[in-house]
């Protein structure tokens, strides 16, 4: 296992500027680069892989500067968004390709390929060609090809984006299982917030070529440092209110903010609890599987609450016009 570190990275591509002061994937960690299209996720991954050279800064593997080491000398495995399989080669030959370049003995190649086929759930498909496989199976072949060379670092660039939702959900679990089983330091690129939350040890949220926040999934979900992170990671309630004597009052709600003047109070819909009362007007609702999403208005400020149906103090068919509200957790942006 190795650590991967970026220090004082600068890369300018036309009008785009990527600037990362510090980012580190720990040994055996699953680190995800999360952000919207065009924020610099893939460029960052390509710099780590050696496909792009930074204009400034250092890429380090276990403290060793890798800037002048070509991709083939970095002992990385990479899975691309389009899988990049060779259509004229069988599954076996696709997976064995990297081992053949390394001129391993035939017996060793066969042993490794058969072992990795079992690991990724492709046993019995070694003689098929990519066009005979489903999208999910092709993705597994690409992953197997990256893993069979026994890399120290695994890089994945939106590997599930071309698959439908059910297959994505199943395969992301497989990727996480394999990564943990092999203890490979992994850096994963995605724009899918749910995907990042489900598989990451830590997440680096990116915006406009910079890193907004790095942390564990629940940490950045419930305690974002910026409004962008708060909004990008899911449904958010952000109230911009005036504080006096270190407190903000909204209806019967009171927030201790520790300062005066304008403040932004952030909380997730699932942090809003519904009680009996009449100071929050129900202005809309949406039924979801097993739960409900309520739009509430308090003194002209709209918030969203999301609760399981059995948590409500009323039946759906007898929904009142107004309810009480408790905010169990919040943070100040």
CB 112 within 8 A of CB 93: no
Q: What is the pLDDT of residues 259-298, one digit of tens each?
A: 899 999 999 999 999 999 889 999 999 999 999 999 999 9
For position 65, what pLDDT does the model report? 96
Q: How far apart are CA 11 and CA 28, in angstroms?
A: 27
pLDDT of residue 82: 78
pLDDT digits (tens, 9 = 90+) for 149-198: 889 999 999 888 777 777 788 888 888 888 888 889 999 999 999 999 99
Specify whether the backbone of 221 is left (phi greater than 0), alpha (psi in -120 to 50) or beta: alpha
The pLDDT, as a whole number, for residue 302 is: 95
Could you give the 3-state DSSP secondary structure of residue 158? coil
Rounded Cα gap, residues 177 and 130, in angstroms: 24
Angle subtended at Cα 169 by Cα 168 and Cα 175, rounded to the nearest 5 degrees:
80
The per-residue b/e assignment along 135-170, b for 16 or more CB within 10 angstroms, e otherwise, is: ebbbbbbbbbbbbbbebbbbbbbbbbeebeeebbee
- Rounded (10°) CA dihedral 96, 101, 107, 111: -40
How confident is the prediction along the chain (333 residues), in pLDDT tens digits per residue? 899 999 999 999 999 999 999 999 999 999 999 999 999 999 999 999 999 999 999 999 999 999 999 998 999 998 888 778 889 999 999 999 888 888 889 999 988 898 888 888 888 888 899 889 888 888 888 888 888 888 999 999 988 877 777 778 888 888 888 888 888 999 999 999 999 999 999 999 999 999 999 999 999 999 999 999 999 999 999 999 999 899 999 988 999 988 899 999 999 999 999 999 889 999 999 999 999 999 999 999 999 999 999 999 999 999 999 999 999 999 998
**What pLDDT is stored for residue 98 in this prediction?**
86
Residues 6+ apart with CB under 8 A from 130: 83, 85, 86, 87, 89, 91, 94, 138, 141
One DSSP character per residue, 195-261 reads: HHHHH-SEEEEEETTEEEEEE-HHHHHHS-SSHHHHHHTS--EEEEEEEBTTEEEETTEEEE-SS-E
Determine the pLDDT at residue 222.
94
What are phi and psi for residue 119, nearest 5 degrees? -60, -40
CATH of domain 4-232: 3.40.50.300
Q: Alpha-carbon distance 57 to 312, whole Å?
A: 54
CA torsion 172→175→176→180, rounded to 10°?
180
- Paired with 297 in beta bridges are 281, 302
- Angle, CA of 276, 280 and 285, to the nearest 5°: 90
Angstrom distance (rounded) from CA 47 to CA 42: 9
Alpha helices in the chain (DSSP H): 41-49, 91-101, 106-119, 135-147, 165-182, 193-199, 217-222, 227-232
Q: What is the pLDDT of residue 81?
A: 80
| Domain assignments of the chain as residue spans, ordered by start | 4-232, 237-332
- Per-residue pLDDT at 172: 85
């Amino acid at each position: 296992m190795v650590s991967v570190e970026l220090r004082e990275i600068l890369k300018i591509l036309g009008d785009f500027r990527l600037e990362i002061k510090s980012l580190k994937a720990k040994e055996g960690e699953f680190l995800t680069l999360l952000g919207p299209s065009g924020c610099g996720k893939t460029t960052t991954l390509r710099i780590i892989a050696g496909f792009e050279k930074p204009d400034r800064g250092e890429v380090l593997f276990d403290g060793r500067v890798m800037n002048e080491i070509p991709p083939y000398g970095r002992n990385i495995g990479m899975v691309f968004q389009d899988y990049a399989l060779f259509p004229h080669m069988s599954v076996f030959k696709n997976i064995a390709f990297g081992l053949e370049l390394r001129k391993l003995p035939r017996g060793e190649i066969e042993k490794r390929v058969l072992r990795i086929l079992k690991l990724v759930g492709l046993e019995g498909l070694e003689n098929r060609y990519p066009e005979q496989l489903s999208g999910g199976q092709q993705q597994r072949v690409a992953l197997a090809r990256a893993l069979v060379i026994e890399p120290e670092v695994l890089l994945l660039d939106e590997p599930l984006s071309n698959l439908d939702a059910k297959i994505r959900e199943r395969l992301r679990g497989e990727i996480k299982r394999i990564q943990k089983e092999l203890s490979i330091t992994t850096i994963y690129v995605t724009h899918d917030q749910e995907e990042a939350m489900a598989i990451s040890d830590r997440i680096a949220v990116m915006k406009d070529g910079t890193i907004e926040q790095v942390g564990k999934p629940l940490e950045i979900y419930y305690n974002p440092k910026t409004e962008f992170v708060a909004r990008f990671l899911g449904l958010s309630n952000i109230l911009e209110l005036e504080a006096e004597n270190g407190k903000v009052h909204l209806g019967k709600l009171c927030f201790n903010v520790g300062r005066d003047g304008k403040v932004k109070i952030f909380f997730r819909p699932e942090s809003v609890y519904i009680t009996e009362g009449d100071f929050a007007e129900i202005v809309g609702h949406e039924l979801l599987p097993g739960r409900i999403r309520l739009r509430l208005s308090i003194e002209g400020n709209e918030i969203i609450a999301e609760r399981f149906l059995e948590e409500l103090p009323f039946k759906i068919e007898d929904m009142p016009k107004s309810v009480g509200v408790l905010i169990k957790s919040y943070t100040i942006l």
